[in-house]
Amino acid sequence: MVMLLMCFHFVTQVLSEAPPGLPQNVLLDNWQLTWTPAMEERNVTYTVRYRSFDADQWKDVPTCKQMSFTSCNVTFMKAETDHGCAMIGVLAERRGLTSEIVGACSSQGNSCSPEVVLSAHPGFLTVHLSRNSGIALEGYHVKHRIYFGKEGEPLQAYEDAVSSVPIPNLKEGERYCASVQYIYFDNPIGVASCTQCKGIPQSSAATKKMEIIVAVVIVLVVLIPLVAYILLFHKKRIKEWLQPSYKIPDHFFLDVYRQSPIPISSNSSTELCNNISSMDFIEQ
């Protein structure tokens, strides 16, 4: 009974265990394949596989099967495949579970990998390709397949070309990437170039417009709080500053106690006069 429970626990653990993580940074340089283990992976072995362009299945590299090393020499492919060109990749294994195959890339052009240089311009990216090396010299049946897309996204879009080609209608200010592989009658050959990325610069008009927008935003961010502060805490002082300086003229002040002489009409023929014995003053 105990043995049955232990076997059941072991089988359940194996079935519920996830496959190992994918190998990282798989790079082919002068027939030496190297890669980096996935983080926090233990008890993992690696197997290197290759496939020629006219084959349907991957084959194991005899000297690089289920090994714990993270490098493998694949010089033997020169004799095993046409022109020594084949797609090559590595997978991780642990307790019978395997990861997907991660294809290698080449950072330097060679007989089986195209030499690629990118240049960025406002609105488009130019992929510069060389026809002076590798199997590109075999004729026009050999072309370049250019995979491209926005940085951080899978490079699903592609375009086939014989020589350098521009990729138009790209958004300015964004970064775009490209990877190139030889194809022969629409079949991939050899190892693709490693992915390269470039930022698409902005045109002068767009740059000027952006500078104006940034300047306006900065002015608004500084000006609005300043105006609000002045209106809230210095309203009285603002009124004093806005009040015009004015002096009231002297003739605006009237002497209410000043008495003007009573006018005497010159038309009166007879003047009536009385003697004043006394005067009483009445307060006004």
DSSP string computed for 124-156: EEEEEE-SSSGGGGG-TTEEEEEEEEETTS---
Dist. CA 225–CA 229, nearest whole Å: 6
pLDDT tens-digit series, residues 78-91: 777 766 688 899 99
Which two tokens mark 32? 């030496």
Quote the mean pLDDT of the chain.
79
Q: What are phi and psi of 89, to 5 degrees?
A: -155, 175
Is the separation of the CB atoms in 179 and 144 below 8 Å? no
Dist. CA 243–CA 237, nearest whole Å: 10
Dist. CA 113–CA 104, nearest whole Å: 11
Dist. CA 49–CA 256, nearest whole Å: 120
β-strand partners of 157: 148
Q: Which of 11-15, 95-99, 179-183 is predicted with the least confidence, judged by mean pLDDT?
A: 11-15
CA dihedral 80, 84, 87, 89 (to 10 degrees): 70
Dist. CA 124–CA 201, nearest whole Å: 9
Q: What local confidence, expressed as pLDDT, does residue 247 receive?
A: 67
Q: What are phi and psi of 233, to 5 degrees?
A: -110, -5
pLDDT tens-digit series, residues 11-51: 445 444 788 999 999 999 888 999 999 887 778 999 999 98
Q: What local confidence, expressed as pLDDT, does residue 246 receive?
A: 63
Q: Of 210, 200, 130, 140, nearest to 170 (Cα)? A: 200
Q: What local confidence, expressed as pLDDT, does residue 146 receive?
A: 94
Is the separation of the CB atoms in 196 and 177 below 8 Å? yes
Q: Tell me the percentage of the chain whose pLDDT exceeds 70.
A: 71
Dist. CA 160–CA 163, nearest whole Å: 9
β-strand partners of 144: 161, 182
Please determine, for residue 71, whether its predicted confidence score (pLDDT) is greater than 80.
yes
Please determine, for residue 4, whether its predicted confidence score (pLDDT) is greater than 60.
no
